[in-house]
Structures are given as C-alpha cells and as structure tokens.
Structure 1
Amino acid sequence: MALPARASAGSRLRRFLFSQEGILLIAIIVLFVAVGAYNQRFLSANNLSTIFLGNAYIAVAAIGMSMVIVSGNIDVSVGSLIGVLATISGTIAVSGWPLWLAWTLPILAGMAISAVSGWLIAYLRVPSIVVTLGMLSILKGGLISVTAGAWINNLPQGYHLAQLRPLGVPMAVWFMIVLTALAAFWMRYSGFGRSIYAVGGNAEAARLAGIDRARTVFIVFVIHGFFAGIAAVLFATQLSVIQSTVPPNLELTVITASVVGGVSILGGTGTVIGSTLAAILIAAIGSSLVFINVSPYWLRAVQGLLILLTVLADLARRRKRARHR
C-alpha cells in the first residue's frame, strides 16, 4: 500500500528538480560550493550578508514585476520608481516627520504612480512598453532636476528598518521570504491570482470566461507599485545615507530576476518563488566574480545570457506543448 505514496513522492521530487525553481536552487547550491571551495572568504558571514541583505529589495521588487509580466505586460520604469520612492522616504525621515510615515508614504506613492501607468495600459490600451518608457523618463528626469543627485545624510535613529535583525536574521531577508511565500500562495490559490495567469495566457479566453481584463491589469499594476514601494524602503534603509539618484541598471536586474525565475516574457506562466531564487542567484554570481578575480562588469553579460537562454527555453517548451495538443 505504501508503494504508490513513494512513487508519488518520487515523481513530485523529479518534477521539482526539473522545474525552473529546482534548477535555480541547484545552481545556487553548486555556485556556493564551487566558489567557496576556490575561495573560502566567499562563504564568510559578511559576504553572505551582503548577498542576501544587499539584494533582498531586488527580490521584493521582482515579486511585483513577475505579476506584471505574467499578466502579459512589462514595466521598464521600476528602477526609476524605486529611486524616487527611496528619496521620498529619506526626505520625510530627515524632515522630522514620524518614522512610520517615512516607511508607509513611499508605498502609497508607489501604488499611486503605478496606478497611473496601469490605467493608461488597461483602459486606454497603450502598450506597456510605451507607457513605462515614458514613466521612466519622467521619474528619472524629475528626480535629477529636483535633487541634483544630492545625498541625504543625518538620517534619524531607528529609521534603518532593513538593518534590524529579528532572531538574528536581517529584516530585509524576512521581508523577502514572507512576501514571496504569501504572494506565491495568493497567486496559486486565489481567484484573482489565477485570473492574472488567465489574462496573460489568453486574454480572449479569459474574457469569454467572464474575467475583466482591464480591471485585472490595472490592479496588477497597483500591486506592483505596492511591492516597488516596499523595495524602495528596504533600499533606502539598508545604508546610513541615500543618494537621490536612480540605481544604475536596477530595472534590468529586476526584470532579469523575473524572467530567469521562469516567468514567461510572453505572459501566462511563472512563479514568484522562481524570481526570488533568480535574484539570489544573480547576486551570488556578481559576488563570486569578485572572489574568482573576474571583472564584475561581466555580470551584465551574464544577465543578458541568462535572459536569452531562458527565453529560448520558454519558446521551446511552448512549441513542444503546441505539438502535443
């Protein structure tokens, strides 16, 4: 009687190991073991803290980005949005306002800004790449014009939320783990979460099933703004100063984490667990290049290669499914 259970457990394990999440987890383990064997300092507590704490905000931003891409859209303005929201957070903090406002108002602002983009995309049917390219220019240009890239110093005591360590684990890592788990559960089991997949996979079939595409896309962008706001607060509170600029290539890193994590650039498939694992892998690759004496500038080439390979693999899977129908 126990054989079917063992067979079922074995098949589930095989499915996981050959899934995008399983492949990413194996890649992370192999990378840590290989680079750690080459240079033991790679596995030092300080370096591991840098990998996880310094990049947790990217994984959080990739949660919202994954939802956007699953719905069949994209947001190339996310890096500029995080830069603007981080500046708002720091400005509120040094202005003497309560700290909870410095943590919550950027989240509300992120939702409001993304709602504008979502409304244009969902209800006016402007392509998401056009809307978010325009928003990127508005946010990036506006931030530089207003702040001239000034540094925000003298942040108040208690502001640095990301530096707290409940149970010895950095707060930013707690945010990454908890938000990933909640988002994965919600997308898999809630009615609205499943409607995101339906809209991204086949908008016409979703409409015939009674799903309001415009409403779904609009809400997805608002949720995306929520996660971008949290990511901005984690980014702003991880260091003792904030530079009022857009972090370079941040939007590429967030999009790469989503796509390499298994979210199809064509929409309809993917999980936020994969995007979080991909964010960790990308951060680990960037750190490992330093420890094996390779220029960190190669990370951009690695990111591009990972995107290309992932997209090609996704296209191959889609063609294989189409042949078997």
Structure 2
Amino acid sequence: MTDIALPSASRSPLRRFISGYGQELVVLLAIAVLFVGVGLYNPRFLSNTNINSIFAGNAYIAVAAIGMSMVIISGHIDVSVGSLIGVIATIAGTLAVNHYPIWLCWLIPILFAMAVNAGVGALVAYTKIPSIVVTLGMLSILKGGLISATAGAWISDLPPGFMIAQMRLFNLPSAVWFMVILTILAAIFMRYSAFGRAIYAVGGNPEAARAAGLNPERTVVGVFALHGLFAGIAGILYATQLQVIQSTVPPNLELTIITASVIGGVSILGGTGTVIGSTLAAILFAAINSSLVFLNVSAYWLRSVLGLMILATVLADMARRRRST
C-alpha cells in the first residue's frame, strides 16, 4: 500500500508534521543553505549589521504577509496593501510631528487600516465583486490620494519616542520581536480558534462552509479587517525604522507581500497554508536580496528569482491538489 492511501490518523507523527509543514520546511532549509553558502563565500554576509538588516529591516513585510496569508487562505487577494502601508506611515508621521500623543500616533493609523479593509471586505463579500478588482480600485484611490495630498514630501523631525521599530529589548530590535510574536499568535489563532478554522473552511469551499452553519460573508469581512490590523502594524514599523518618512507608496511592496504568502505555502486558490511559511519566505527574500550584493550580482535578478519561485510553488500546489483529488 502506498503512503497516499494511508489514513492520516495512521501515519507517524513525523510524516504528519512533514505533510502539514512541507513547504515551510523547504523555505527554512533554503534560508539555512543560503546563509551557510554565502557566508562561506563572503564572511561579511554574517556580520551583525547585515543580519540585523535582514531581519529587522524587513520585519514589516513579514507582519503584512501574515494578514495577506489569511486573506488568500479565505480565497481572496489584496493588491492594495502596499499603498495602504504607505498611507499609514504618512498618517502616523504627520500625527507625530504635530505633537499628538505617541499612542494615538500608533493607534489611529491602525484603526484607519482596519476600517478601510473592512469596507473592502464588505464590498467583496456582499456585492460579489472579485477581490482583485475591488483592491485594484482601492490601490488607485490610496496611491492617488496620497500623492495629491502630500506631493511626496518628506516627514522629518520625528520624536524619539515615536520610533518603536528602533527600540530594543534584550538587545534585539523591537521589529524582530513584533515579527516573531505576531507570527506565533497568528499561527495559534488560525489553528485553534473558531474564526481561524472558519477562514480555512470558507477558502476551501464557501458553500460547504455555509451548509455547515458558517457565514461566509461575515467571515470575509472579518478576515479583511484582521488583515488591516496587520497592515496597520506593518505600516507603523515601516514608518519608524528610519529617521524620515517619504510620503509615497513603497515600490513593488504589495507584490513582495503576496509573493511571501504564496511561496510560504499558502495556496493561491485558498483553503490551505500557514502564516509561519509567509514569515519564513519574507526572511528568505530579504536574505536573497542581501546575498546578491555580497555576491556582486545585480539586485534586478531578485525579481526574476521570485518569479521563478512563484511559478514553481503554484505548479507544486496544483500537482498536490490533483493528487488529493
């Protein structure tokens, strides 16, 4: 009898673990191989400064990818997240330089992000407009509105207490703590909470989920609002990692976040995947980008590498689904 025919309950714990986290293990192995290989070629790659840049400098991408993973698992997608993060950073910086209380400078942009994405989720859920269409429209609204309102101005003279991403705890940047703790909490939430299981159910088969007593529309609105929470936190981390903020949308940020989710093991068709994989994939992208510098390779190759990784991951997901069927 082949392994495919074995009931999942009769498999060894190791086989069940590998089956459930296969893509995450592949990404983790790729990170390890990259660090060892490039570190042997150029030891400066493993310097404290570069390691800090890889993890702390890209933590906001990993945090945003957590929420994106939830949206994709639910069967939808959000291509406006990069523009939303740019708007959040600008709002937070503007409040900070106008001497608002620091906690309000953090809280108001996060609530704004949740409200915007809840509205997007309501449009997707109740009007049945495809999420890619709704979020493309929101991308244009946010990006156009930001440029019109600020003309891309720089925000400087930010108060020291506002710079939460630069704070340190146990000699580790707070951005890394945010990335690790939020990933763990989100993984527990998706695996063990009723709403987390509902996200998987709705993404796998909305009508079956409805027949089981779930409300797919309410779930979609909720998951987009939750995605807004993570995008808001990511926006605050992005705004506070440097001493100035440029009031523009970070280029290709939404593509990087979506790619992290997909390569991390989240099926683009919905219903499967974990937030742990998206965080690992975000770290892998940052490590690849940094390694190109130390290998004297043009950074433009990063987009080609990511494109190949997306195609390989999607093809593997399709093959896996065919085998399951």
Does residue 135 in structure 1 map to residue 127 in structure 2? no
Q: CA deviation at 1:10?
A: 4.6
> Structure 2 CA distance, aligned partners of 1:105 and 1:127?
29
1:234: which partner in 2?
237
Instruction: Find 1:268's aligned residue among 264, 271, 289.
Output: 271
Q: Give the counterpart of 1:116 among 114, 119, 129.
A: 119
1:93 alignment partner in structure 2: 96
User: What does residue 56 of structure 1 align with?
Assistant: 59
CA offsets 1:238-290 (integer angstroms, 9 cap, x no match): 00000000000000000000000000000000000000000000110010011
Structure 2 residue aligned with 1:184: 187
Tell me the secondary structure at the aligned position of residue 141 of structure 1.
Answer: helix
The CA deviation string for residues 279-317 of structure 1, in whole angstroms up to 9 with x for no partner, is: 000110010011101000111111111111110000000
* TM-score, normalised via structure 1 length: 0.95
- Equivalent of 1:204 in 207, 216, 224: 207
- Give me the whole-angstrom Cα distance separating, in 1, the residues matched to 2:194 and 2:221: 16
Cα distance between partner residues in 1 of 2:99 and 2:105: 10
SS in 1 for 2:162: coil
Moved over 2 A (4+): 7-16
Q: 1:11 Cα shift?
A: 3.8
Identity %: 70
Q: What is the CA–CA distance in structure 2 between the aligned matches of 1:230 and 1:316, rounded to whole Å?
A: 35
Match of 2:164 in 1: 161
Distance 2:30 2:49 in 1: 21
Shift of 1:204: 1.1
Rounded to whole Å, the distance in 2 between the matches of 1:19 and 1:129 is 28
Match in the other structure for 1:223: 226
Cα distance in 2 between the residues matched to 1:157 and 1:29: 36
> Counterpart in 2 of 1:3?
none
Q: Which amino acid in 1 is paired with 2:136?
A: L
Whole-Å separation in 2 of the counterparts to 1:105 and 1:176: 21
Q: Show the counterpart of 2:256.
A: 253
Alpha-carbon distance in structure 1 between the residues aligned to 2:245 and 2:123: 31
Deviations 1:75-129 (A, max 9, x none): 0000000000000000000001111111111100000110110110011111100
1:48/1:129 CA distance change after superposition, 3 Å: same
State the 1:40 CA deviation. 0.4
Aligned to 1:319: 322
Task: Select the residue among 244, 249, 256 that pairs with 2:247.
Answer: 244
Are 2:178 and 1:175 equivalent residues in the alignment? Answer: yes
Equivalent position SS for 2:319: helix
2:129 is paired with a residue of what secondary structure? coil
CA deviations 1:221-245 (Å, max 9, x no partner) are 0000000000000000000000000
Report the counterpart of residue 6 of structure 2 in structure 1: none
Code of the aligned partner of 2:148: S
Partner of 1:194: 197
Cα distance in 2 for partners of 1:297, 1:100 equals 39
* RMSD after superposition: 1.2
**Secondary structure of residue in 2 paired with 1:158:** helix
Which amino acid in 2 is paired with 1:204?
E
Cα distance in structure 2, aligned partners of 1:128 and 1:10: 37
Relative to structure 1, is the Cα distance of residues 10 and 71 closer, same or farther in structure 2, using a 3 angstrom cutoff? closer
Runs of 5+ unmatched residues, structure 1: 1-6
- In structure 1, what is the Cα distance between the partners aligned to 2:45 and 2:30? 16
| 1:4 matched residue in structure 2 | none
Q: CA separation in 1, counterparts of 2:137 and 2:110?
A: 21
What's the counterpart of residue 4 of structure 2? none
The number of aligned residues is 315
Q: Which amino acid aligns with 2:56?
A: L
Residue of 304, 307, 314 corresponding to 2:310: 307
- The one-letter amino acid of 1:104's match is L
TM-score by length of 2: 0.95
Pair 1:67-2:73 in alignment:
no
